[in-house]
A and B are shown apart, each in its own frame.
Chain A
Amino acid sequence: MKDTLIQRWDHFLEKITIRFEESLIQGKAAVMESLEDNDYDYYASYRALRAIEMQIRSSLIEKIDITWIEQVEPSMRADGGIYWADESRKGYRLQDELSDRLSVWVNITEGHLSQKYYDHAIQLIHQDFKCTQCHAPLEVKKNFFLSQYVTCGYCNTVNTFEPQTKYATIGWNIINNIAALHSMEAYDAVRKTPREDRRAYEQALRNYYEKYFDERIKLMPHSAATRERDIELEIKKMM
């Protein structure tokens, strides 16, 4: 009986793992496709990502615990012996592993979603803007996602350029997500460094935030002015 129960439990965990792998692929495909379907409404796609994450968590990861408590543990206990303790650890280990992978998947998918949004929205101001007074072409500063004053080089009039919402959205958190995506390796090093080792932890944080803000500057050059201050502030918050 013991072998049969263990085999059934192993088979169940294996099926959960396979379904989990499939779900990550399908979930990502649904999120990425949704951006075109909803006419590049980033926040609608982001909500879809979070809903998918919740569904994977509740229908697969939490199912391990529920199945263990309701079905497997009572059967193994009734069978006698203490082998159920090892089997319990097996389930919780897988649960932790999948939970961790799901969190990483959310971060990566959010980064890829942001990159796709960026590639679309960055082109929205690739058009000619003209002075309201003399109609001379204006040089609107690119990669600046806020309203800006633009002085006409011909008649000296101050024009106010106000970007459309989809373009302005890039500066809200799209760039932060892309920068985070490109800094995943450094972030992973932070996660692996124990907080108790304060010097090593601070160094890992510094490496991460330097990489993160440098990636951010590539997409938003004017943020270079506050680079050092931004890095110190983030490290202080985390220590």
Chain B
Amino acid sequence: MDMEGRWQKRFSIFRGDEFKSEIMSTNNPFKKLANNSKESAKKWDNEKTISSIETITCKQCGAPRPANTLLKTCAFCGYQFMDASVDIKAGHTKQG
């Protein structure tokens, strides 16, 4: 160990680092609890492992929805997506 290493070691005693690392390096009794928790974790079917980008397209003409258009009809061919008595428009006008 070089001079700097020896000084680091001496100072670590005063800081309590050695005591801390001794506690952590010995068998941590709580590790078992953490492992149990990992092993008993429920695997969710609907967990999404990658982020995705999708576009809903018209069933009739295949066109995607342009921004600021109504949600109940296709802006290209007029195909009715849903039976609604009111006009529904996406609220996020800035984003679409």
Contact present for A45 and B37 (CB under 8 Å): yes
Chain A positions within 8 Å of B, measured between CB atoms, are 22-23, 25-27, 29-31, 33-34, 37-38, 41, 43-45, 47-48, 51-52, 55, 124-125, 127, 129-133, 138, 141, 148-151, 156-165, 167-168
Q: List 24 A-B contacts (CB under 8 A).
A: A26-B23, A26-B24, A26-B30, A30-B30, A30-B33, A30-B34, A34-B35, A38-B37, A41-B38, A41-B41, A51-B37, A124-B51, A148-B95, A149-B90, A149-B92, A149-B95, A157-B55, A157-B65, A157-B67, A158-B55, A159-B53, A159-B55, A164-B48, A168-B48
Contact residues in B for A38 (Cβ distance below 8 Å): 37-38, 41
Contact present for B20 and A25 (CB under 8 Å): yes
Chain B residues touching A, range: 20 to 34
Which B residue's beta carbon lies closest to that of A37? B38
Contact present for A34 and B51 (CB under 8 Å): no
Distance, CA A25 to CA B56, complexed state (A): 51
CB of B28 to closest CB in A, whole Å: 5
Contact residues in B for A37 (Cβ distance below 8 Å): 34-35, 38
Which chain B residues in 58-81 approach chain A with CB under 8 Å? 64-67
Distance, CA A138 to CA B53, complexed state (A): 10
Chain B positions within 8 Å of A, measured between CB atoms, are 20, 23-24, 28-31, 33-38, 41, 44, 47-56, 64-67, 90, 92, 95-96
Contact present for A156 and B30 (CB under 8 Å): no
Which A residue's beta carbon lies closest to that of B30? A30
Distance, CA A25 to CA B24, complexed state (A): 8
Contact present for B51 and A160 (CB under 8 Å): no
Contact present for B54 and A159 (CB under 8 Å): yes
Contact residues in B for A159 (Cβ distance below 8 Å): 53-55, 96
Distance, CA A48 to CA B29, complexed state (A): 12
Contact present for A164 and B41 (CB under 8 Å): no
Contact residues in A for B95 (Cβ distance below 8 Å): 141, 148-151
Contact present for B34 and A160 (CB under 8 Å): no
Max chain A Cβ within 10 angstroms of own Cβ: one of B30, B36, B48: B30
Q: A26-B28, A158-B64 in contact; A164/B51 too (CB < 8 A)?
A: yes
Contact residues in A for B90 (Cβ distance below 8 Å): 149, 158
Contact present for A163 and B51 (CB under 8 Å): yes
Distance, CA A156 to CA B28, complexed state (A): 56
Contact residues in A for B28 (Cβ distance below 8 Å): 26, 29-30
Which B residue's beta carbon lies closest to that of A38? B38
Contact residues in B for A168 (Cβ distance below 8 Å): 48
Contact present for A47 and B37 (CB under 8 Å): yes
CB of A80 to closest CB in B, whole Å: 40
Contact present for B48 and A158 (CB under 8 Å): no
Which A residue's beta carbon lies closest to that of B54? A160
Further 11 A-B residue pairs, CB within 8 A, beyond A30-B31, A157-B55: A26-B29, A26-B30, A29-B30, A31-B34, A44-B38, A48-B34, A131-B55, A133-B55, A158-B64, A158-B96, A162-B52
